[in-house]
């Protein structure tokens, strides 16, 4: 009886070791993480996509909406009551929003696009502003082309216009984020460009 029990335990031990030992062709268990690494590749690509920056005239798409920054230029606020903060200047940014989905969607609200003064991993760690700055009123010839409100865009329909922001004078490039939802998450799109 004891012999039979010892043989049974020995066989169980041998079978369990054989199961853990792999195929026995020289490969060890370290080869098994390969699928996990290949699964990790797409997320690495997604992370790379998350930090992609679009420049002037580059079409960026998110959630059925295409956003193109058509240009940026210093904004002359001479004769206006509103002045930029110390160390900042106004910049006029031209946009085109296009519905690339198959159903009607709203164009962005002017509060969905922010100039970023200091980037962080989330909106909570970034110093962002546009709400009070995109409201700048001015007596300029293209005032009617100012982007004021979001509108419903039919499929393939576009709307264009400009908004005014404050930008730091000591930085050569402007970084903007587009958020379709909350600003305390990663942005849907990022833009980086120089002001002429």
Residue 192 confidence class, pLDDT cut points 50, 70, 90: very high
The residue among 180, 148, 153, 143 whose CA lies nearest residue 61 is: 180
Asked whether residue 143 is assigned to any structural domain, the reply reads yes
Q: Is residue 41 part of a domain?
A: no
Under a CB-based contact definition with an 8 Å cutoff, are residues 152 and 109 in contact? no
In a domain, 44, yes or no: no
Is position 11 within any domain? Answer: no
Regarding predicted confidence, which is higher, 144 or 105?
A: 105
CATH number reported for the structural domain that contains residue 127 in this entry: 2.60.40.1240
In a domain, 101, yes or no: yes
Q: Write phi, then psi, for 28 (nearest 5 degrees).
A: -105, -175
86 found inside a domain: yes
46 has which bridge partners?
Answer: none
Q: Quick one: which of 157, 154, 156, 134 has its CA closest to 146?
A: 134
Which structural domain, as residue segments, surrounds residue 168?
Answer: 53-194
Kindly write down the DSSP assignment for every residue of 73-85, as one continuous string.
EE---TT-S--PP
pTM: 0.66
Q: What is the pLDDT of residues 151-177, one digit of tens each?
A: 899 999 999 988 888 888 998 899 998
Of residues 181, 180, 163, the one with CA closest to residue 66? 180
**Does the residue 17 lie in any domain?**
no
């Amino acid at each position: 009886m004891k012999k039979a029990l010892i043989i049974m335990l020995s066989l169980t031990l041998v079978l369990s070791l054989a199961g853990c030992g792999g195929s026995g062709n020289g490969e060890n268990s370290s080869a098994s993480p390969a699928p996990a690494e290949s699964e990790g590749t797409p997320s690495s690509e997604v992370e790379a996509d998350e930090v992609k920056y679009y420049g002037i005239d580059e079409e960026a798409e998110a959630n059925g909406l295409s956003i193109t920054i058509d240009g940026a230029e210093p904004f002359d606020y001479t004769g206006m009551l509103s002045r930029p903060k110390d160390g900042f200047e106004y910049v006029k940014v031209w946009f085109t929003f296009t519905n690339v989905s198959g159903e009607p969607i709203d164009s962005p609200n002017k509060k969905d696009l922010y100039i970023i003064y200091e980037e962080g991993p989330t909106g909570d760690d970034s110093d962002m502003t546009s709400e009070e700055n995109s409201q700048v009123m001015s007596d300029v010839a293209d005032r009617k082309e100012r982007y004021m409100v979001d509108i419903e865009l039919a499929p393939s329909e576009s709307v264009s216009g400009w908004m005014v922001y404050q930008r730091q004078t000591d930085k050569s490039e402007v970084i903007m984020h587009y958020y379709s939802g909350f600003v305390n998450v990663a942005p849907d799109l990022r833009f980086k460009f120089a002001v002429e």
